[in-house]
Structure 1
Amino acid sequence: MSTKQKDTGKKRGQQPRAAVEPDLDGLRIAALDVSTWPQFAALVERHNGIFGGCWCTFFGPDCPEKRQSYEGNRALKQRWVEEDATHAALVLDGEEAVGWAEFGPPEELPNLHHRKQYLAEQQQPPDFRVTCIFVDRRYRRRGVAELALRGAVELIAAAGGGVVEGYPHDLDGRRMSASFVYNGTRRMYERVGFVYDRPKGKGNCVMVREVAAAG
């Protein structure tokens, strides 16, 4: 039975934390790995597993453990981290994770929204894709999502670079709740050097950037 939990920004029995004014100059990027798993897990737990207990597993490969329960998705994500089979740029404020941008090669992140349309129109698969950007509700609308995306680009460059795709919302002046802008906006991607390629679905688009390998 699937365990669905509303994203309320607090753990069971806890009051939500007060909003804070983050000092973006004081934030730093760290790769998601076994050493930063506790910070990542704490961020997800503060938001009840993210999107009904997803634990940022939606875009990963399908497997029997996936989408079964909150606890099952948590264990699956932790296993992927231990196996170096999932990647993300974490935004840290001190020792607390306050956001992330998930990225990886297509074989690591094969599942996409509007997949049928995407594959029908695809000319060549990218080397990497950015699939999900999430920010602690206390830090939203303050530039943390863009910082996470820039961190992902830096980590991709360190991994050898290549063609990178992202699939943000193309809002065209419309406003949307920050809770549902799961992968940022077209304008944000453009600020980070991505260029528009084509529409995807009714409100998203494909953005592309060539990232050089870190020297």
Structure 2
Amino acid sequence: MSIDVRPATDFEGVRAVLGPKSPGANVCWCLSHRIPSKLNKELRGPARGEYVAGLCRADPPPGVLAHDGDEPVGWAAVAPRADTSFARNRKIPHLDDLPVWSLWCVRVRPGHRGQGISHALIAGAVAFARDRGALVIEAYPLDNGDAKVDLTMAYAGLRKNFERAGFVHAADTTSVLAGHPRILMRLDLH
């Protein structure tokens, strides 16, 4: 298996990984941290997907997609922190005034897990940010040790996967997800 990670400009690929089985369902579409809370609550059903389609046409696109051949098998959300709700998040500290990028969602499609795709997604998201001039990239993964994590809530990623990609623990946070503390991890890109 050869995994290729590329910018998420293909909306149909994003839909395959993030979209609902039922077009009218109100799934996240990885918008919760990307757009203001009010807009996130207003967008319902198909309007959520339409909003993401617009993001896929924007520059930069909203993240990266992993492909196994032509099949989209994973997603990672990455953007400048200033363009996300993390810019105002009180539970996840700001460490300095650097224009950091945030990597906050890593998702692998069922049937493709356990094959190293999340590692490829993290590396691809880092390359995506670096190619767009990022000096530092942050992630806010779960610090779960060896404890199991509910896959629905594992979207933030796991500490060990970010450590494997060269990220270092930069700060504790007061954010908790699925019963596990989240930490702020950073990778210097310059």
TM-score by length of 2: 0.85
Whole-Å Cα distance in 2 between the matches of residues 150 and 58 of structure 1?
23
* Structure 2 residue 8 is the aligned partner of structure 1 residue 32: yes
The structure-2 alpha-carbon separation of the partners of 1:139 and 1:66, relative to structure 1 and needing over 3 Å to count, comes to same
Q: 1:72 aligns with which of 47, 61, 67?
A: 47
Higher mean displacement: 195-204 or 55-64: 55-64
Matched residue, 1:58: 32
Matched residue, 1:9: none
Computing the radius of gyration from Cα coordinates, the structure with the larger value is 1
Kept in 2, the 8 Å contact 1:86–1:108? The answer is no
Partner of 2:19, secondary structure, is: helix
| Structure 1 counterpart of 2:167, one-letter code | F
Whole-Å Cα distance in 2 between the matches of residues 63 and 172 of structure 1?
31
Matched residue, 1:81: 56
Matched residue, 1:12: none
Kept in 2, the 8 Å contact 1:90–1:148? The answer is yes
Whole-Å Cα distance in 2 between the matches of residues 47 and 136 of structure 1?
13
Runs of 4+ in structure 1 off by over 6 angstroms are: none
The structure-2 alpha-carbon separation of the partners of 1:118 and 1:111, relative to structure 1 and needing over 3 Å to count, comes to closer
Q: 2:78 aligns with which of 103, 110, 119?
A: 103
Q: Which protein has the bigger helix share? A: 2
Give the Å deviation of 1:206: 0.2
Partner of 2:127, secondary structure, is: helix
Runs (5+) with no aligned partner, structure 1:
1-22
Q: 1:180 aligns with which of 120, 134, 153?
A: 153
Kept in 2, the 8 Å contact 1:80–1:86? The answer is yes
Whole-Å Cα distance in 2 between the matches of residues 184 and 175 of structure 1?
12
| % identity of equivalent residues | 20
1:176-198 Cα shifts (integer Å, max 9, x gaps): 12232112111110110100011
Kept in 2, the 8 Å contact 1:169–1:183? The answer is yes
Q: Which protein has the bigger strand share? A: 2
Whole-Å Cα distance in 2 between the matches of residues 167 and 48 of structure 1?
30
The structure-2 alpha-carbon separation of the partners of 1:192 and 1:48, relative to structure 1 and needing over 3 Å to count, comes to farther
Whole-Å Cα distance in 1 between the matches of residues 135 and 151 of structure 2?
29
Give the Å deviation of 1:123: 3.4
Give the Å deviation of 1:61: 2.4
1:102-161 Cα shifts (integer Å, max 9, x gaps): 10102322347x921324x64335421101111101112322111100001111221123
Number of positions where the alignment pairs a residue of Structure 1 with one of Structure 2: 183
Kept in 1, the 8 Å contact 2:77–2:103? The answer is yes
Partner of 2:6, secondary structure, is: strand
CA RMSD, 1 decimal? 2.4
Partner of 1:77, secondary structure, is: helix
Kept in 1, the 8 Å contact 2:142–2:159? The answer is yes
* Structure 2 residue 137 is the aligned partner of structure 1 residue 164: yes
Runs (5+) with no aligned partner, structure 2:
none
Kept in 1, the 8 Å contact 2:137–2:189? The answer is yes
Matched residue, 1:13: none
Whole-Å Cα distance in 2 between the matches of residues 63 and 118 of structure 1?
17
Whole-Å Cα distance in 1 between the matches of residues 107 and 26 of structure 2?
14
* Structure 2 residue 170 is the aligned partner of structure 1 residue 197: yes
Whole-Å Cα distance in 2 between the matches of residues 46 and 72 of structure 1?
12
